[in-house]
Chains A and B, each alone.
Chain A
């Protein structure tokens, strides 16, 4: 499984990528939407894990841009925001099951990735 982690908290995605790699998951990371789109152009990913609030572009907008480049990629959202409205919008895009509130347990994140891998061509 190859995943892309996108969050402007660089220390978070760097560490998360390393922990996933130790568990046999090939993980790349990006701290901006622009970097994420560059990576998606160059590599094929099974799952993208997106922060909901990324500078200059929302995670939801980034999802749409990524889907245009790689249709079929699966998505998980991570957020530090717990407002009901944010939840409704995020859950509508990714499904309630795949909208996770930080801090996220690594085991839960991996379980969600594995669940998504069993689905056909994303949500």
Chain B
């Protein structure tokens, strides 16, 4: 099987496309706000030329709005850059906190479209996994989508991580009550393949209404050093 076919079967090309489309959508929104705000500034200046007094404070507020939106665009592009660099190395030591925070940022909008808020609930101390960063992001992105689809009444998915003696767990909390067997059956083929590829195992914590993805010790580093994190 060709590398491209393998990536297709893993859903990775689709994942890359989905994230890229979401980012471009975000940037388009920012550009639209900047265009209208600068347009309004031009309108006010034009009206001033026709004799209407110019409210300097108003202009200042509009300039501030443009500055704020460029800051927002800068964050979006930084995230895009980090995501793009996730394919630089086949395997690396990844800071789980950085990786989860990036994925939550990238999926915040699509979750919001479904009325769900994503929240990072991560320890500051080093929890690292040695893995292919892109596949790890792909898997976590798929699990975010599964969690969002199954979100409970609070409509808030909290994503945490913890060291455990056998490895590292990433936990998705805030789901509605579910049946583990039905959840297991609903997993799509790419998610199953990514779990196998990363030697990870998905567990269902019914009491906590949580999904737990476990990375074994062979794939994880239990602390001490902070991983270099993504790109």
Interface set of A (CB-CB < 8 Å, partner B): 8-9, 11-12, 15-16, 18-19, 22, 53-56, 78, 80-83, 101-104, 106
Task: Name the contact of B29 in the complex, choosing from A18, A80, A82 (C-beta under 8 A).
Answer: A80
Nearest CB to that of B30 among chain A residues? A9
Identify which of residues 171-198 in chain B touch chain A, using a CB-to-CB cut-off of 8 Å.
none
Beyond A53-B25, A81-B21, is A15–B31 a contact (Cβ under 8 Å)?
no
24 contacting pairs across A/B (C-beta < 8 A):
A11-B65, A11-B69, A12-B29, A12-B33, A15-B33, A15-B39, A16-B36, A18-B40, A19-B36, A19-B40, A22-B47, A53-B25, A53-B113, A55-B112, A56-B113, A56-B115, A80-B24, A80-B26, A101-B28, A102-B28, A103-B28, A103-B31, A103-B32, A106-B36
- Most chain B Cβ neighbours within 10 Å, of A19, A53, A56, A103: A103
Contacts of B24 in A (CB 8 A): 80, 82
- Whether A9 and B29, one on each chain, are in contact in the complex, defined by CB atoms closer than 8 angstroms, is yes
Contacts of A12 in B (CB 8 A): 29, 32-33, 36
Beyond A22-B47, A55-B112, is A102–B29 a contact (Cβ under 8 Å)?
yes
Nearest CB to that of B22 among chain A residues? A81
Q: How far apart are the CA atoms of A118 and B43 in the complex, in Å?
A: 27
Report A30 CB to chain B, min CB distance, Å: 16
Question: On chain B, which size bracket covers the interface?
Answer: 20 to 34
Beyond A55-B115, A56-B113, A102-B31, is A15–B25 a contact (Cβ under 8 Å)?
no
Nearest CB to that of B109 among chain A residues? A53
Task: Name the contact of B35 in the complex, choosing from A8, A55, A80, A103 (C-beta under 8 A).
Answer: A103
- Whether B43 and A19, one on each chain, are in contact in the complex, defined by CB atoms closer than 8 angstroms, is yes
- Interface membership of B132, Cβ < 8 A: no
- Interface membership of B37, Cβ < 8 A: yes
Beyond A9-B29, A102-B28, A103-B35, is A15–B40 a contact (Cβ under 8 Å)?
yes
- Interface membership of B114, Cβ < 8 A: yes
Contacts of A104 in B (CB 8 A): 32
Identify which of residues 7-27 in chain B touch chain A, using a CB-to-CB cut-off of 8 Å.
21, 24-26
Contacts of A15 in B (CB 8 A): 33, 36-37, 39-40
Q: How far apart are the CA atoms of A55 and B117 in the complex, in Å?
A: 11
